[in-house]
Structure 1
Amino acid sequence: MRKIASIFILAFIMSCTGNAQEKSKEKKKNYKVVKTDAEWKKLLSPTAYYVLREAGTERPFTSPLNNEKKAGTFVCAGCKTPLYKSKHKFDSGTGWPSFDRAVKGNVEKDVDYKIGYARTELKCNTCGGHLGHSFDDGPRETTGKRHCINGAALEFVPKK
Structure 2
Amino acid sequence: MSQAYSKDPDMIKALNPEQFAVTQQGSTEPPFDNDFWNHKDEGIYVDVVSGEPLFASIHKYDSGTGWPSFTAPIDTTNITELHDRSHGMIRTEVRSAHGDSHLGHVFDDGPATSGGLRYCINSAALRFIAADDLEREGYGDYRRLFETTTQGEEDKA
In the other structure, the counterpart of 2:106 is 134
Deviation at residue 35 of structure 1 after TM alignment: 5.2
Deviates more, 1:40-49 or 1:51-60: 40-49
When residues 40 and 112 of structure 1 are mapped into structure 2, their CA distance, relative to the original with a 3 A threshold, is: farther
Residues 1-160 of structure 1: matches in 2 within 5 Å? 33-34=6-7, 39=10, 41-104=12-75, 105-160=77-132
In the other structure, the counterpart of 2:145 is none
Deviation at residue 34 of structure 1 after TM alignment: 3.8
After superposition, the CA RMSD in angstroms is 1.4
Asked if structure 2 preserves the Cα contact closer than 8 Å seen for 1:43 and 1:78, the reply is no
Higher Rg of the two aligned structures? 1
Asked if structure 1 preserves the Cα contact closer than 8 Å seen for 2:12 and 2:49, the reply is no
The alignment partner of 2:22 has SS state of helix
Q: TM-score, normalised by structure 1?
A: 0.75
Structure 1: 5+ residue runs without aligned partners?
1-31
Structure 2: 5+ residue runs without aligned partners?
133-157
CA distance in 2, matches of 1:108, 1:138: 19
